[in-house]
């Protein structure tokens, strides 16, 4: 029975791992992946509830702070995309991680019953750790959000959070038991920094889209917008309530611009984007990706060798197939970059 169960778990693990590996880079496509289609109905319901709660809060504001219907629809759509991508990542993670843990345990048990001399127990432990590590490496490589997708949801999500935080008046003299070491303006400062970082990150992604020609104009606008948001952050830290009111109005304006047909009015383009462009490197990205593939290959080869020595050729063949699948995907991604 142990042989049957281990064979079944290895097959399912290989299937889940193959789906994760072969859909790597799917963020470059405009369509949803299979896991995201599974998460779409639940994400749509939650996004609708969150949108309704946000609308109730915004409707009670002064007219100068209210968002237009187009901006609300934009934020709800972006929120839906964020939840679909994150939940889709969870749909891939949970079954694959569980299968990896079960498969590693069953294979380790079979290796422990093999005749490998004094190293039998150590090799069994290595098999368990290797299978779990291979699973985690594959999941991290294939499940990083917003890596290549042409989306602004990290920006819009942070803008929405910052706007909601800025709508709350800064309470002076708050109870120490509730605030602890946190200053009253700290949440607004933190959310504005997150917004600035996401704008800067978007600019860097457009600096070398798909490792091709830099979009210098986009970098100029979004890099300058990040600098403006950091100025608002500093104003909130220094002026407190006055800075909060100015920051709320400016973040509202940025949301309206992001929801419009043109983002040219987001900020005055920065004069020299070279400092921002220097933060991204096509070569370093390729080196990191190559190092990951090399680590996966070395670990998988050692695992296959141990399984063959333990007279488990079928699981070893599965591991070798995973190596080949990973290299096929790596060569495809390299070809896309060129």
- 194 and 232 housed in the same domain: yes
Q: Are 6 and 143 found together in one domain?
A: yes
CA separation for the pair 43, 28 (Å, rounded): 21
Q: 81 and 187 share a domain?
A: no
User: Do the beta carbons of residue 300 and residue 323 sit within 8 Å?
Assistant: yes
What is the value of pTM for the model shown? Answer: 0.76
What is the distance of C-alpha 280 from the center of its chain? 18
Q: Is 175 part of any domain?
A: no
Q: What is the pLDDT of residue 110?
A: 83
User: What SS3 state is found at 164?
Assistant: helix
Helix 186-207 × helix 241-259 angle, to 10°: 30
> 141 in a domain, yes or no?
yes
Q: Is residue 217 part of a domain?
A: yes
Distance CA 208, CA 204 (A): 7
For the segment 130-177, what is each residue's pLDDT rounded down to a tens digit? 888 888 888 887 776 545 577 888 899 999 999 999 987 766 555 555
Q: Residue 338: its pLDDT value, please?
A: 45
- Considering only 134-138, 284-288, 334-338, which range has the smallest mean pLDDT? 334-338
Tell me, rounded to whole angstroms, the distance of Cα 167 from its chain centroid.
28
Q: What is the pLDDT of residues 230-281, one digit of tens each?
A: 999 999 999 888 888 999 999 999 999 999 988 999 998 887 776 666 655 5
Closest among 199, 274, 205 to 233, alpha carbons compared: 199
Per-residue model confidence as pLDDT tens digits over 94-128? 888 898 899 888 888 888 887 777 778 888 888 88
Helical packing angle, 120-142 and 282-309, nearest 10°: 150
Residue 61: phi and psi, rounded to 5, are -85, 170
**Total domain count, the chain:** 2
CA distance 38 to 307: 35
Residues 225 and 326 in one domain: no
Asked if residue 174 belongs to a domain, the reply is no
Alpha-carbon distance of 11 to 17, in angstroms, equals: 10
CA distance 50 to 16: 32
Residue 177 falls within a domain, yes or no? no
- Assess whether 16 and 135 both reside in one domain: yes
| 121/163 same-domain check | no
């Amino acid at each position: 029975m142990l042989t049957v169960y281990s064979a079944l778990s290895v097959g399912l693990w290989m299937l889940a791992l193959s789906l994760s590996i072969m859909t790597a880079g799917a963020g470059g496509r405009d369509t949803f992946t299979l896991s995201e289609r599974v998460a779409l109905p639940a994400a749509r319901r939650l996004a609708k509830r969150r949108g309704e709660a946000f609308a109730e809060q915004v409707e009670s504001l002064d007219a100068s702070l209210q968002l237009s219907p187009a901006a609300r629809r934009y934020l709800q759509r972006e929120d839906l995309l964020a939840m679909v991508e994150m939940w889709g990542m969870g749909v891939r993670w949970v079954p694959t991680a569980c299968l990896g843990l079960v498969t590693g345990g069953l294979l380790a048990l079979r290796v422990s019953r093999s005749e490998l001399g004094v190293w039998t127990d150590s090799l069994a432990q290595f098999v368990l750790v290797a299978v779990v590590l291979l699973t985690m490496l594959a999941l991290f490589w294939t499940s990083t959000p917003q890596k290549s997708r042409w989306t602004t949801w990290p920006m819009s999500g942070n803008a929405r959070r910052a706007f909601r935080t800025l709508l709350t008046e800064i309470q002076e003299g708050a109870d120490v038991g509730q605030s602890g070491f946190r200053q009253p303006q700290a949440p607004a400062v933190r959310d504005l920094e997150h917004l600035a970082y996401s704008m800067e990150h978007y600019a860097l992604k457009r600096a070398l889209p798909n490792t091709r020609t830099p979009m210098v104009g986009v970098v100029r606008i979004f890099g300058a917008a990040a600098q403006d948001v950091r100025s608002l952050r500093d104003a909130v830290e220094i002026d407190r309530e006055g800075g909060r009111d100015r920051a709320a109005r400016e973040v509202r304006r940025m949301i309206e611009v992001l929801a419009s047909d043109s983002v040219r009015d987001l900020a005055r383009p920065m004069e020299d984007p070279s400092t921002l462009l220097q933060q991204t490197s096509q070569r370093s990205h390729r080196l990191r990706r190559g190092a990951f593939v090399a680590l996966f290959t070395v670990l998988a080869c050692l695992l296959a060798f141990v399984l063959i020595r333990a007279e488990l050729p079928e699981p070893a063949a599965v591991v070798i197939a995973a190596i080949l699948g990973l290299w096929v995907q790596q060569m495809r991604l390299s070809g896309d970059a060129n």
